[in-house]
Amino acid sequence: MCHETLVQDLTMRPSPNWTPRLSDEGGRPYERLVGALAEDILSGALGPDDRLPAHRDVADKLGLSLGTVTRAYDVLQRRGLARSEKGRGMFVNATRPARPASVDLSVNLPPAVIQSSTLSTLITGVGREIDPETFTRYAPPAGLPEHRLMMARKLAEDRGIRVEPAQLMLTNGAQHALAIAMGALPPGAIAVEELTYPGVLRAARSLCRSLIPLALDRDGVLPEALEAALDTETPPIAVYLTPSSQNPTGALLSEDRRQRLAELAEARGLWVIEDDADAVFAPPDLPSLAERAPDHVLHVGSVSKSLAPGLRLGYLVTPPAMIEPCTCWLQATASMGNPLSAMLMSQAMGARLNTSIAASIRTEAARRCALAREVLAPWLPENTRNALHVWLPMPTARAREIVLAAARLNITLAPPDAFMVDPGAEASGLRLCLGNALMPDLRAALESIATLLRGGQNAALV
């Protein structure tokens, strides 16, 4: 053995603190092994150039077949988390980007669990298989039939939503799908949660749509608030909801309220826009509104958010009666969805990378939410769930003060006004997005925010 190889072998060896295990996430055995390894790599328990145990050792330790371990290691390589060196074994790749000068907690991005090398591999795969004729003509506005069929099957498998591919259109992100749904609806006001996703406020302003705020509590929107709005002289023609992980409060719409809202929609002829962009955090046993009232619900979702946000790939599921108006709005706003993004989605789904990545996002989000609970316990609601953000309720004036004070510490927070339907509301809060920062930076930022909330000297605005 040459001296250089001997030095490499001495510096690349298994982490002494790491023991093969399976993730608590559900799924097939190889997916659970991938989840455990990905969690330990992304958290730093396994560092760059650490050697992973031999396939046989992992199989014997966990009672798995050799093929299961081989498949798990293959997924790790495709995700760019590990590499195989011929004759030497499997090693952890470096995953940590450079630390930024400031910490941005204003943008709701997923943690960086997918590596650039993985995207490069997907892009290369598309390049090998793509038909050049694709670029000589327009694709169908709603997407290529094979991509819509694949997405319809995924929705049935993941969310229990069973629709014909003709009811599903691929869009340039969930925001695009939301704008299409809002634009295609008949004239009239739209009811929304009193604290809501900023994108719906922007879309409403652009479309000159009036919004009616609905009261919220820890279980989501109050059905009686919607019923009261429907009993007025100018009732809303639709309601927009984020039931899986309410943006910004994080509330999970309870099963009872889902049923009551679905019954209201059917009884009153009300359209429902169900924003399911955070479906990765939806409990699998909690039916979506689209399942309960399929003829009244326009279901909005995102693929890129759980794969790579820059892909800008979303989808819209429409009732049969809304296919034509939604298609018209799709063509008016973008002519068609981006077929290249859909091809990348197809590559990822074909390799089941989307399943592995979604599991890693949930695991990493749980780790970050645990940190937020540790640092911000006095201010977090008791029902705070694992998601990409947490919500700190407080008076609007106080929230604005904290945003300004945090900016002086190079911490960027979204102002409370970004979520408020009523700009004069006295109560709102702060949404802290946990996915966009490195863990050491996130801890430091949360500790600084805790100091500001305690009224420490850093909170002074004079």
Question: Domain boundary at 302, 331, 350, which?
Answer: 350
Cβ distance 430 to 394 under 8 Å?
A: yes
For the chain of 462 residues, list the mean pLDDT of each consecutive stretch of 10. 43 56 81 84 79 86 88 82 83 68 89 75 78 79 92 90 95 95 97 97 95 95 97 97 95 95 97 94 89 97 80 94 96 87 84 81 92 96 92 97 95 97 96 92 95 69 28
Q: Are residues 148 and 265 in the same domain?
A: yes
Is residue 341 in a domain?
yes
Cα distance between residue 21 and residue 34, in whole Å: 10
Strands in 303-414 per DSSP E: 314-317, 389-395, 411-412
Residue-level pLDDT at 265: 97
Q: Are residues 163 and 182 in the same domain?
A: yes
Is residue 32 in a domain?
yes
Q: What is the CATH number of the domain that holds 393?
A: 3.90.1150.10
Is residue 329 in a domain?
yes
Cα distance between residue 16 and residue 13, in whole Å: 9
Residue-level pLDDT at 9: 44
Q: Are residues 267 and 346 in the same domain?
A: yes
Q: Are residues 318 and 359 in the same domain?
A: no
Place of tokens 């030497």: 88
State the pTM of this model.
0.79
Q: Are residues 392 and 328 in the same domain?
A: no
Report in angstroms the alpha-carbon separations of 343 from 39, 161, 333, 350, 440: 28, 22, 21, 10, 36
Q: What is the CATH number of the domain that holds 9?
A: 1.10.10.10
Residue positions counted in the chain:
462
Give the sign of the dihedral formed by CA 439, CA 110, CA 418, CA 238. Answer: negative
Q: Are residues 336 and 392 in the same domain?
A: no
Half-sphere exposure of 405 (CA within 13 A, CB side): 23
Count up the domains in the chain and report the number. Answer: 3
Question: Domain boundary at 301, 333, 350, which?
Answer: 350
Question: Domain boundary at 317, 350, 383, which?
Answer: 350
Residue-level pLDDT at 99: 58
Q: Are residues 39 and 83 in the same domain?
A: yes
Show the domain range for 395: 103-110+354-459
Cα distance between residue 64 and residue 413, in whole Å: 46
| pLDDT single digits (tens) 293-344 | 999 999 999 987 777 787 889 999 999 999 999 999 999 998 888 888 888 8
Is residue 405 in a domain?
yes
Is residue 128 in a domain?
no
Residue-level pLDDT at 125: 79
Q: Are residues 161 and 309 in the same domain?
A: yes
Report in angstroms the alpha-carbon separations of 459 from 371, 427, 451, 452: 22, 20, 8, 5
Q: Are residues 337 and 435 in the same domain?
A: no
Place of tokens 């799908």: 177
Residue-level pLDDT at 275: 97
